[in-house]
Amino acid sequence: MKLKLANGSSLRDGVLRAIPLGILLVVVATSASSDSPREAIIHPLQNANFVSASDPACLSTAVEAGNPATAPSAVLVKMEKGCMDPWHFHTAAEELIVIKGELKVEMASMTPAILGPGGYAQIPSNEKHQFVCSAKSECLTFIRIDRAYDSKAVQPRN
């Protein structure tokens, strides 16, 4: 005996049509659960704990969320006026928003740009890039990193 659904199709046809939808739901649920869980955080800027980087010494960072050594993170980066973070790349993709100052952003695949407050850059994984803070004032940026952060120095556009 063949079971028929209300629309006249067989139960077998309905099940076969539902399988791709089920697979899609499993993929979406799995990808959503693999994202790092987010917790509620509020950090006033005046409470940011900036730590000087050893190279370049004119740059300091404050981790706002996550752990750059192991997982996605959000980091404030402060650069002294005239500071250069020379050509490098990393496995992590990053998104950058300038909060203060003028930041020259150079990527191997694009024309350099100078970004002021509110300026945005998206830097793909393994994209060679460098930053230079204007000589007028210090720069402050917010950077969102999509995975553990590793940085490797490179020669320009190689």
Tokens, residue 3: 């079971």
pLDDT tens digits, 113-122: 999 999 999 9
Tell me which fold the domain 45-153 belongs to.
Jelly Rolls (2.60.120)
Domains of the chain by residue range:
1-34, 45-153
Tokens, residue 99: 């909060």
CA distances for 145 relative to 11, 13, 65, 122, 154, angstroms: 47, 45, 10, 10, 20
pLDDT tens digits, 44-85: 999 999 999 778 999 999 999 999 999 999 999 999 999 999
Angle at CA of residue 112, ends 86 and 133, nearest 5°: 50
Q: What is the value of pTM for the model shown?
A: 0.74
Pick from 151, 148, 150, 142: which is nearest to 72 by CA? 148
Pick from 94, 91, 89, 100: which is nearest to 134 by CA? 100
